[in-house]
Amino acid sequence: MKILTAVDSFKGSISSSEINNIVAKELKLKGLEVIQKPLADGGEGTIDALIDSTNANKIECTVTGGLGEKIKSYYAMMHNGTAVIEIAQICGLPMLPSDKRSPLYTTTYGVGEAIIHALHKGAKHIVIALGGSATNDVGIGMLQALGVTVSDALHQPASFGASSLENITHIDFSTRSPELKNIPISVITDVQNLLCGEEGATFVFGPQKGLSPDDCIKVEKQVQRLCSLTPLLQKYKNTPGAGAAGGLGVACLALGAKIYEGAEWFMKTLQLKETIQQVDAIITGEGKLDSQTLSGKAPISIARYAKSIDKPVIAIAGSIDIQLLSAFYESGIKICLSVLPGIQTLEQAITLSQSQQNITYISQQIATFLTWPKE
């Protein structure tokens, strides 16, 4: 029996590669053949999953972090010349101390620096994974790093963070770096929010990143004003995904980027459909199986395709919204299993050592079930 393991990371706990290694080890001990595909959907862990799944090269770089300091980061360079930049590795929320998390001051400048670095390394295509940002600067920092002129009434460059948006009076895309010419840019995200409005970047994601209700009202006003300064931002502000990463999505679209759902992009890049056709069963999952899973995240995309060719899917997770079990089953998941063997606090469950034990436990149960004598 041949099994595909393609489990996404348990965010803040254990990486996709680590999970799939544990599952594969236990399955192999029972004599099962295993194909591993570490998984992501554009958020935290995207680069590591790509490197582990495709043998892409890890390219280290020094860029500006979310708080304006210089940091060590990296991106993936695939063998076809595609550079995949994960913003969570540059201006991601988990990279900042909890008392420093405020989109009023965080910047995407380092994303632009990483793009330039990749171009100098010979990249022929730039892919930006937009999940997990600590920013709400509408991508202004990234645009500045790429040569776009963003200035105030005194013709001074805009400062970092959403707090500086109110001072911006001029945006000129014609000054962008000539290195961007003829370089295709793609954006992958599992977020479909527009830039503005109650379901836009600021009101939906701002509070998670540290904005107060009053901050959200002020920043939203400035984001809308900013769009009126240039036809390019105005043109794309209502495009699904424009609100991803605190509006970084709309800045990428203004540069000519095409936007893709992270799960579907990964399915294609990792050739998951072809692999699913070759196996007898699939094990997938993520930290929490809930309504967001059903919105098109990687595990459900796998399940839907597997269902179309009658391949069984087992999903594992730290927690499961049991009210949605019927929806999971309808999507192609045959069994939903929690990795928790007993009562644990959240703090206990998300530690690396406990996560490893929990995933080992459930993997042993799955391996035993899959090798149970058939009559």
Residue 157 carries which DSSP code? B
User: In order of start, what are the domains of the chain with their CATH numbers?
Assistant: 2-39+271-370 (3.40.50.10350), 46-263 (3.90.1510.10)
167: helix, strand or coil: helix
pLDDT at 149 over 70: yes
What's the average model confidence in pLDDT over 325-351?
A: 91
Residue 276 carries which DSSP code? H
Instruction: Identify the band that residue 215 occupies on the pLDDT scale cut at 50, 70 and 90.
Output: very high
pLDDT at 169 over 80: yes
Query: What's the pLDDT score for residue 8?
Result: 92
Query: What's the pLDDT score for residue 242?
Result: 95
pLDDT at 49 over 90: no
pLDDT at 111 over 90: yes
What's the average model confidence in pLDDT over 294-306?
A: 91
Which amino acid belongs to residue 116? I
Can you give the pTM of this predicted structure?
A: 0.89
pLDDT at 89 over 90: yes
* DSSP symbols for 83-124: EEEETHHHHBGGGS-GGG--TTT---HHHHHHHHHHHHTT-S
* Low-confidence winner among 23-32, 72-81, 366-375 (lowest mean pLDDT): 366-375
Cα–Cα distance list, 246 to 135, 252, 278 (Å): 5, 12, 40
Query: What's the pLDDT score for residue 45?
Result: 82
| Alpha carbon distance 183, 171 (integer Å) | 22
The helix (H) or strand (E) run that includes residue 338 is strand 333-338
pLDDT at 375 over 70: no
Instruction: Identify the band that residue 264 occupies on the pLDDT scale cut at 50, 70 and 90.
Output: confident
230: helix, strand or coil: coil
Query: What's the pLDDT score for residue 62?
Result: 98
Q: Which of 14, 23, 20 is nearest to 52 (CA)?
A: 20
What's the average model confidence in pLDDT over 2-6?
A: 97
Structure tokens at 58: 């890890």
What's the average model confidence in pLDDT over 214-237?
A: 95
Query: What's the pLDDT score for residue 343?
Result: 84
Own/partner contacts of 351-360, CB < 8 Å, gap of 24 or more, are: 351/13, 352/13, 352/14, 355/10, 355/13, 355/14, 355/318, 356/14, 356/18, 356/22, 358/318, 359/14, 359/19, 359/22, 359/23, 359/316, 360/22, 360/26
pLDDT at 292 over 90: no
Q: In this structure, are residues 217 and 196 in contact, taking their beta carbons and an 8 Å threshold?
A: no
Instruction: Look over the chain and give the mean of its residue pLDDT values, rounded to a whole number.
Output: 94
2: helix, strand or coil: strand
The helix (H) or strand (E) run that includes residue 178 is none
- Name, in order, each residue with C-beta under 8 angstroms of 212's C-beta and a sequence gap of 6 or more: none
What's the average model confidence in pLDDT over 65-90?
A: 96
What's the average model confidence in pLDDT over 1-9?
A: 95
Percent of the chain with pLDDT over 90: 80
Percent of the chain with pLDDT over 70: 100
Helices and strands counted in the chain (H then E): 16, 13
**348 or 159, greater pLDDT:** 159
Q: In this structure, are residues 352 and 13 in contact, taking their beta carbons and an 8 Å threshold?
A: yes
